[in-house]
Amino acid sequence: MGRRRGTTGVTLATAIFLAASMPWDGARAASVDVPRQVVSTEGDRTAAEITVYNVGLGLVKDRRSVTLPAGESTLLFMDVASQGIPASVSVRSVTEGDEVKVLEQNYEYDLLSAAKLLEKYVGRTVRIRYRSPFTDREDEKEAKVLAYNDGQPVLSIDNEVTFGLPGNYIFPEVPRDLIARPTLSWLLGAKAPGRRELEALYLTNGMTWRADYVLVLGADEDRADLSGWVTLDNRSGATFRNVRLKLVAGDVNRVREDLGRRGYPAAKAAMAMEAAPQFKESELFEYHLYALSRPTDVKNNQSKQVGLLAAEGVPVKKEYVFSGAESYYRDRQTGEIDRNRKVPVFLLLRNDVASRLGMPLPKGIVRVYKRDREDALQFVGENAIDHTPKDEKVRLMLGAAFDVVGDRKQTDWKVVSANMYEAAYEISLRNHKVEGVTVRVVEPIPGEWRILDATHTHVKEDSGTAVFAVKVDPDQEVKLRYRVRIRF
């Protein structure tokens, strides 16, 4: 057979014909020197529980009923997560008074594939079934695999070296160290034969969850309906059916070397529909645990949404905030500092029983809607919240008000002494809405300071912040003026 060159458009067929069964079928277990193999699949599962953390981590508890012989045996525990963390694996017998010892454990993830077969057969002989381009007949040749790099096998056929040969590769057997899917493997020692209830526990990357909230504002914007959804994303490589699902909210520390791949697909935006709460909340160490009240399926490569909370008539407050900056007070400013700056708008609510809430809120995104004149819901903004304990405030920045704007300028600056200054400012606020608004003017003043005079009353919120509440009627302009003395 002559030397062949790879040709553009020619595809190497990788249909694999296996002439031998898998190594766990018992055919190789006849030798007395090899411990008997016991295979457990998803069909042996009697119960399962998954706890998912919002740091891309899942804890799997997989309980199965298996029959073990007396003495040593190798248990192949299949249908596990392909992103499992090997160092986290443990197994125990849940049978009362049972004596089963774990002598060795392994996590097998050298998976069977066309590429892996060719890699394992480097230096060995395979058969290739191909159709001759000259006779249009099927033929079969023996070939020795010399190398397999960059997806291209290099072959020796009839004492000649070739590559790019189209055809089907036929392997005499599956190498013993290749498996069809990720498998946990234990070398166990049992005093007596019989059926055992075993539970495997392990951590896996590729599972994460987040909370999504929908807040629908009422017509007067002083009440809102709030619903919460849990979005669970499973990219662990395994499917778990009829499992108990628990979620942990909190900032759980992880060692860097255990972190798996990042970049989970973003959760789909929660729809503006009513959520039926299905989780029961409780404390766990310094975190909060949310347990789903019913079993569910957690499929691989699936995003699932489940109702977390629902509350109607939650009191909310809309707040306009016009903020300054420390740098405005450290030197003379030339001209206007701000001109026609839109004023940000916030929504405030309290996570307490009086507000018809009071459940610890996991971190997530709150999407806010309001009905238009045709009673259709319209999106008006969103903001992320951190983990929020009960009785704490929730503050959402939704955007900038279209019809409320402000200017700022420094009207005076003088040096009183070597480290003391006086500065005067004028803030002009204009309201083009049909209703009046109150703008919260927040001034972060550095150093040791005292406001000497002002057109509006201020509150010293903390050592570095002065706050003015300025009411602006419809289609009006109001000017806030004040003078401050600062010592650095």
In DSSP notation, 22-86 reads -TTSSTTTTSTTSPEEEEE-GGGEEEEEEEEETTTEEEEEEEEEEEE-SEEEEEEEES--TTB-G
Residue type, 463: S
* Structure-model confidence comparison of residues 268 and 406, the more confident one: 406
Is 467 a domain residue?
yes
Which of 232, 180, 237, 179 minimizes the C-alpha distance to 204? 237
With respect to residue 98, please indicate whether it lies within any of the assigned structural domains: no
Q: What's the CATH code of the domain at 441? A: 2.60.40
Are 405 and 342 contacting, i.e. CB atoms less than 8 angstroms apart? yes
pLDDT range class, residue 8, cuts 50, 70, 90: very low
Q: Please give the pLDDT value at position 436.
A: 96
Is residue 99 included in any domain, yes or no?
no
pLDDT at 143 over 70: yes
| Residue 220 within any structural domain of the chain | no
The residue behind tokens 């002989």 is 125
Mean pLDDT of 280-285: 80
Whether residue 73 is predicted with pLDDT greater than 80 in this model: the reply is yes
Pairwise pLDDT comparison (113 vs 172), residue with the higher score = 172
Task: Determine, yes or no, domain membership for 291.
Answer: no
243-255 average pLDDT score: 86
Give residue 408's domain range: 317-349+396-487
CB-CB contact of 143 with 126 (8 Å): yes
Residue 236 in this model has a pLDDT that exceeds 60: yes
Q: What is the rounded average pLDDT of the residues 268-290? A: 67
Q: Is 72 a member of any domain?
A: no
Q: Look at residue 109 and tell me if it is in a domain.
A: no
Interval 453-465 mean pLDDT? 96
Number of domains in the chain: 1
pLDDT higher than 50, residue 282: yes
pLDDT-based confidence at residue 12 (cuts at 50, 70, 90): very low
Report whether pLDDT(111) > 80.
no
> Is the pLDDT at 127 greater than 50, yes or no?
yes
| 106 or 22, greater pLDDT | 106
What secondary structure does DSSP assign to 278-303, as a single string? -EEEEEETTEEEEEESS-EEE-TTEE
Q: What is the pLDDT of residue 2?
A: 40
Residue 266 placed within a domain? no
Residue 141: the pLDDT is 84
13 pLDDT higher than 50: no
**If you average pLDDT over every residue of the chain, what do you get?**
84
Average pLDDT over residues 212-239: 93
Antiparallel, parallel or unpaired: β 240-249 and 138-149: unpaired
129 pLDDT higher than 70: yes
The phi and psi torsions of 313 (rounded to 5 degrees) equal 65, 40
